[in-house]
C-alpha cells in the first residue's frame, strides 16, 4: 500500500506509481482499480496526495488558454485552419480573427495567407480535441520577417523562466525580438544576423541543458562570453 | 503576389544572413553538413549504403539480376534507378506513385552513373544479346532535410562499391541469391554529384529544407576526377552564362573534397 516511487524519479509508461486510494492521479497518470500507473515518460512529481508526471518528451497537447504560434495551412469559407505543431490542427474562425468588419464574400487571404505564422491563443479544446483559436488578446498578431525554430514543448517553461526571466535575459543580451509559443514554436527576429544566431544558440542551449542545475548562471555566462 | 508575401519576407531575412557570409546553422556558404557513410546496411540487398548529410538520411540498395539486354545495347549490362520519397521522411511527401520530384531524383542519379561511364558495362555481359547483368538501384529517403540529390547520388555510389555479385549457374541459368561471390561490380570511376543552389547573388552548397524552400535556382553538376559528366538545372529562375561558370567550378572544387571523404 502507498507510494511505490520517490519524488522526481524517472518513470516509463505502465510503471506503477502507487497502490490504494490514498493518492490521486493527475496529469500523465491513470488509475486502474487500486493502482495508479504512469501514462508518460517523465519525472514523478508528488504534491501532497496528488501524483503527476512532468513529461520529458512528446508532442504538444492543446490546452485552453495557451498562447501558441501557428502556421496557416488552409483558408476555408469561414476561417483559417492552423497547424499548431500538434497531432491536432486548429480552427481560427472569422469572428475570432479580427475586430474589423469582413464583408460577405471577401478574400480571406487579405487577413491571413497560406504560410503565415501567427501568435494566437486557444479558446477551447473539445473532448474530441477540436481546437478553436482567437486573435483577440494582448500580443496576439501576425508575425512578420524573422525566423521560426522548433523546441521541445515540455522545455518551454524553462525557456521562458520564472515570470519570463530567462527569455528576457536572452532578449536583453542579444537585442532580438523573441516570442515563445507554448507549443514549442519560437519566433526570433534580430537586427543583426550575428545577434540572432546567438539568441538561437542560447535557446537551444537552454533546451538541451534544462535538466542540469545552475542553468540561469550558465546561460548568463554564455551570453556575456560572446557579447 | 500575396501568396508569396510570407515567402519573400523569409527570403529577404535569409539574404541578410548570406550577405554576411553566415547561414542559419553557422556554416559557411559552401560548407557541407556532417557526412556519414555506412556500408552494408541491408542483409538482402547485394549492396547497400546509408548516407547522412546532417539530418538528411538516404538508404540505397542494389539488387542484381540476369536479364535480356536492350536490343540497341546487346552486350551491355543494364542499369535501373528508382527513388522513393517516403511520406515518413517529410510532411511534404505523399504516398502513391512517384511524383516529379522522385522521378527527377532517380533520373539525375541514373544520368550521373550512366554518362560518366562509371561502370564497365561490357564486362557485365554474359551472353551477347541474350543474358546480361542488370543493376537495380533503389533509393529511399529516411529523412528529408534538403539536398536530396547529392545525398542520393553519394548513397548510390557507395552502395555500388559495396555490391558483391550473387552466384550465377551458367548451365541451369539460375541465380542463387543465398550464396554471394567475391566478385565486385566493374566500377572504374567515381561520379560525384554536387548541387549548387542560387539565391539572390549567392551560391549555396548543401542547404537544409528551410533554405531549400527559398531557393531561386539550382544546378546539379556531376563530375568524375574533375571532368563534367552530367548536369541538371532546376527551379524557376534563369541562370546566366557567368552563373553556370561559377557554379560548375564550385561544384568541381567541392566534388574533389567529397571524393576524399568516400
- Domain co-membership, A45 together with A82: no
The minimum CA-CA distance between B123 and chain A, rounded to whole Å, is 52
Which one of B6, B24, B28 would you mutate to disrupt binding with A, by most A Cβ within 10 Å of its Cβ? B6
User: What's the pLDDT at A203?
Assistant: 93
pLDDT tens-digit series, residues A64-118:
999 999 999 999 988 999 999 999 989 999 999 988 888 888 888 888 988 889 9
C-alpha A213, offset from chain centre? 22
Q: Which residues of B touch A117 (CB under 8 A)?
A: 6
For the B16-261 domain, the top CATH level (class) is: alpha beta
Q: Do A62 and A121 touch, CB atoms closer than 8 A?
A: no
- Whether residue B1 is predicted with pLDDT greater than 70 in this model: the reply is no
SS3 B238: coil
User: What's the pLDDT at A227?
Assistant: 54
What is the spatial distance between Cα A195 and Cα A191, in angstroms, rounded to a whole number? Answer: 8
User: What's the pLDDT at A170?
Assistant: 92
- What is the share, in percent, of chain B residues with pLDDT greater than 90? 75
- Domain co-membership, A50 together with A77: no
Residue B9 to residue A145, Cβ atoms within 8 A: yes
- Domain co-membership, A111 together with A157: no
Q: Is residue A62 part of a domain?
A: no
- Domain co-membership, A32 together with A82: no
User: What's the pLDDT at A146?
Assistant: 86
User: What's the pLDDT at A189?
Assistant: 92
- Whether residue B4 is predicted with pLDDT greater than 70 in this model: the reply is no
Q: Do A82 and A73 touch, CB atoms closer than 8 A?
A: yes
- Domain co-membership, A155 together with A209: yes
Residue A109 to residue B2, Cβ atoms within 8 A: yes
> How much is the average pLDDT of A154-175?
91
Q: Pairing relation of β-strands A50-55 and B125-127?
A: unpaired
Q: DSSP H helical segments within A1-106, as ranges?
A: 94-97
Q: Is residue A61 part of a domain?
A: no
User: What's the pLDDT at B151?
Assistant: 96
- Domain co-membership, A13 together with A72: no
Q: What's the CATH code of the domain at A152?
A: 3.30.1370.10
SS3 B119: strand
Question: Which contiguous run of DSSP H or E holds residue B196?
Answer: strand B192-199
Burial class from Cβ neighbours inside 10 Å (0-12, 13-18, 19+) for residue A106 reads: exposed
What is the spatial distance between Cα B151 and Cα A201, in angstroms, rounded to a whole number? Answer: 27
> How much is the average pLDDT of A126-154?
91
Which DSSP string corresponds to A159-192?
HH-GGGHHHHHHHHHH--EEEE-TTSEEEEE-SS
| Count of CB atoms situated within 10 Å of the CB of B134 | 17
User: What's the pLDDT at B2?
Assistant: 44
For the record, the C-alpha cell of B83 comes out as: 527513388
**Distances in Å between the alpha carbon of B210 and those of A96, B147, B220?**
31, 11, 19
- Whether residue B116 is predicted with pLDDT greater than 70 in this model: the reply is yes
> Is the minimum CB–CB distance between B1 and chain A shorter than 8 Å?
no
What is the spatial distance between Cα B188 and Cα B177, in angstroms, rounded to a whole number? Answer: 25
Query: Which of B5, B13, B26 is nearest residue A146 as measured by Cβ atoms?
Result: B13
Q: What's the CATH code of the domain at A114?
A: 2.40.50.140
Q: What's the CATH code of the domain at A36?
A: 2.40.50.100
What are the CB-based long-range contacts (under 8 Å, 24+) for A203-211? Answer: A203/A149, A203/A151, A203/A159, A203/A170, A203/A178, A204/A149, A204/A151, A206/A155, A206/A158, A206/A159, A206/A166, A207/A151, A207/A152, A207/A155, A207/A158, A207/A159, A210/A155, A210/A158, A210/A159
User: What's the pLDDT at A100?
Assistant: 84
- E-only strand ranges, chain A: 2-3, 10-11, 16-19, 24-25, 29-32, 35-38, 42-47, 50-55, 67-75, 79-83, 90-93, 117-125, 131-134, 147-150, 177-180, 185-189
Q: What are phi and psi of A164, to 5 degrees?
A: 75, 20
Identify the band that residue B5 occupies on the pLDDT scale cut at 50, 70 and 90: low
The minimum CA-CA distance between B253 and chain A, rounded to whole Å, is 28
- What is the share, in percent, of chain B residues with pLDDT greater than 70? 98
What is the spatial distance between Cα B145 and Cα B150, in angstroms, rounded to a whole number? Answer: 12
The minimum CA-CA distance between B15 and chain A, rounded to whole Å, is 10
For the record, the C-alpha cell of A156 comes out as: 518551454
Q: Is residue A141 part of a domain?
A: no
Which one of B1, B8, B13, B28 would you mutate to disrupt binding with A, by most A Cβ within 10 Å of its Cβ? B13
The minimum CA-CA distance between A43 and chain B, rounded to whole Å, is 29
The boundaries of the domain holding residue A206 are 147-226
Higher pLDDT, B173 or B7: B173
Burial class from Cβ neighbours inside 10 Å (0-12, 13-18, 19+) for residue B109 reads: buried
> Is the minimum CB–CB distance between B2 and chain A shorter than 8 Å?
yes
Identify the band that residue B262 occupies on the pLDDT scale cut at 50, 70 and 90: confident
What is the spatial distance between Cα B106 and Cα B81, in angstroms, rounded to a whole number? Answer: 6
pLDDT tens-digit series, residues B55-113:
999 999 999 999 999 999 999 999 999 999 999 999 889 999 999 999 999 999 999 99
User: How many domains does one find in chain A?
Assistant: 3
What are the CB-based long-range contacts (under 8 Å, 24+) for B251-255? Answer: B251/B194, B251/B195, B251/B196, B251/B219, B251/B221, B251/B223, B252/B194, B252/B221, B252/B223, B252/B226, B252/B228, B254/B30, B254/B32, B254/B194, B254/B205, B255/B192, B255/B194, B255/B221, B255/B223, B255/B226
Residue B6 to residue A113, Cβ atoms within 8 A: yes
Angle between helix B148-162 and B100-115 (nearest 10) = 50
- Domain co-membership, A31 together with A78: no
Q: Which residues of B touch A146 (CB under 8 A)?
A: 13
What is the ipTM metric for this complex? 0.74
Find all residues with CB under 8 Å of A22, minimum gap 6, and list them: A1, A2, A49
The minimum CA-CA distance between A161 and chain B, rounded to whole Å, is 25
Q: Do B191 and B116 touch, CB atoms closer than 8 A?
A: yes
Residue B24 to residue A109, Cβ atoms within 8 A: no
User: What's the pLDDT at B180?
Assistant: 84
Of A39-48, A147-156, A207-216, B198-207, the least confident:
A207-216
Q: How high does pLDDT run on average in chain B?
A: 91
User: What's the pLDDT at A212?
Assistant: 80
What is the spatial distance between Cα A27 and Cα A52, in angstroms, rounded to a whole number? Answer: 5
Place of cell 519573400: B8
Q: How high does pLDDT run on average in chain A?
A: 90
Q: Which residues of A touch B (CB under 8 A)?
A: 109-110, 113-117, 144-147, 189, 193-194, 197, 200
pLDDT tens-digit series, residues B162-200:
999 999 888 888 888 888 888 899 999 999 999 999 999
Q: Is residue A140 part of a domain?
A: no
- pTM summary value: 0.84
Q: Do B209 and B146 touch, CB atoms closer than 8 A?
A: yes
Amino acid at each position: 500500500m502507498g507510494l511505490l516511487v520517490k519524488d522526481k524519479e524517472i518513470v516509463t509508461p505502465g510503471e506503477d506509481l502507487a497502490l490504494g486510494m490514498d493518492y490521486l492521479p493527475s496529469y500523465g497518470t491513470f488509475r486502474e482499480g487500486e493502482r495508479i500507473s504512469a501514462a508518460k515518460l517523465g519525472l514523478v512529481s508528488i504534491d501532497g496526495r496528488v501524483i503527476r508526471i512532468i513529461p520529458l518528451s512528446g508532442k504538444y497537447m492543446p490546452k485552453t488558454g495557451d498562447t501558441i504560434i501557428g502556421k496557416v495551412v488552409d483558408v476555408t469559407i469561414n476561417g483559417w485552419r492552423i497547424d499548431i505543431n500538434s497531432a491536432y490542427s486548429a480552427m481560427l474562425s472569422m469572428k475570432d480573427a479580427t475586430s474589423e468588419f469582413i464583408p460577405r464574400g471577401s478574400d480571406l487571404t487579405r487577413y491571413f495567407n497560406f504560410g503565415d505564422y501567427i501568435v494566437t491563443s486557444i479558446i477551447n479544446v473539445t473532448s474530441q480535441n477540436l481546437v478553436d483559436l482567437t486573435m483577440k488578446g494582448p500580443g496576439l498578431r501576425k508575425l512578420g520577417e524573422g525566423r521560426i525554430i522548433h523546441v521541445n514543448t515540455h522545455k518551454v517553461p524553462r525557456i521562458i523562466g520564472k515570470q519570463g526571466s530567462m527569455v528576457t535575459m536572452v532578449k536583453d543580451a542579444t537585442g532580438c525580438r523573441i516570442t515563445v509559443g507554448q507549443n514549442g514554436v519560437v519566433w526570433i527576429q534580430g537586427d543583426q544576423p550575428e545577434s540572432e544566431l546567438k539568441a538561437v544558440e542560447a535557446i537551444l542551449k537552454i533546451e538541451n541543458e534544462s535538466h542540469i542545475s545552475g542553468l540561469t548562471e550558465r546561460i548568463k555566462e554564455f551570453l556575456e562570453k560572446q557579447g | 503576389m500575396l501568396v508569396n508575401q510570407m515567402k519573400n519576407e523569409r527570403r529577404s531575412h535569409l539574404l541578410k544572413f548570406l550577405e554576411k557570409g553566415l547561414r542559419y546553422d553557422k556554416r559557411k556558404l559552401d560548407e557541407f553538413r556532417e557526412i556519414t557513410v555506412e556500408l552494408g546496411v541491408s542483409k538482402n540487398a547485394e549492396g547497400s549504403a546509408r548516407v547522412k548529410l546532417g539530418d538528411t538520411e538516404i538508404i540505397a540498395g542494389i539488387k542484381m539480376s540476369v536479364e535480356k539486354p536492350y536490343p540497341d545495347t546487346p552486350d551491355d549490362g543494364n542499369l535501373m534507378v528508382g527513388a522513393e520519397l517516403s511520406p515518413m521522411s517529410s510532411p511534404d511527401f505523399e504516398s502513391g506513385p512517384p511524383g516529379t520530384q522522385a522521378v527527377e531524383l532517380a533520373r539525375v542519379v541514373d544520368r550521373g552513373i550512366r554518362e560518366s561511364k562509371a561502370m564497365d558495362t561490357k564486362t557485365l555481359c554474359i551472353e551477347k544479346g541474350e543474358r546480361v547483368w542488370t543493376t537495380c538501384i533503389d533509393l529511399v529517403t529516411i529523412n528529408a532535410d534538403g539536398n536530396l540529390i547529392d545525398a542520393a547520388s553519394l548513397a548510390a555510389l557507395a552502395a555500388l562499391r559495396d555490391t558483391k555479385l550473387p552466384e550465377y549457374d551458367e548451365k541451369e541459368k539460375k541465380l542463387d541469391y543465398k550464396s554471394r561471390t567475391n566478385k565486385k561490380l566493374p566500377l572504374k570511376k567515381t561520379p560525384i554529384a554536387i548541387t549548387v543552389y542560387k539565391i539572390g547573388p549567392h551560391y549555396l552548397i548543401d542547404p537544409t529544407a528551410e533554405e531549400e524552400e527559398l531557393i531561386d535556382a539550382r544546378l546539379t553538376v556531376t563530375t568524375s576526377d574533375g571532368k563534367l559528366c552530367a548536369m541538371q538545372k532546376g527551379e524557376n529562375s534563369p541562370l546566366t552564362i557567368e552563373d553556370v561558370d561559377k557554379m560548375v567550378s564550385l561544384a568541381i572544387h567541392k566534388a574533389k573534397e567529397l571524393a576524399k571523404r568516400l
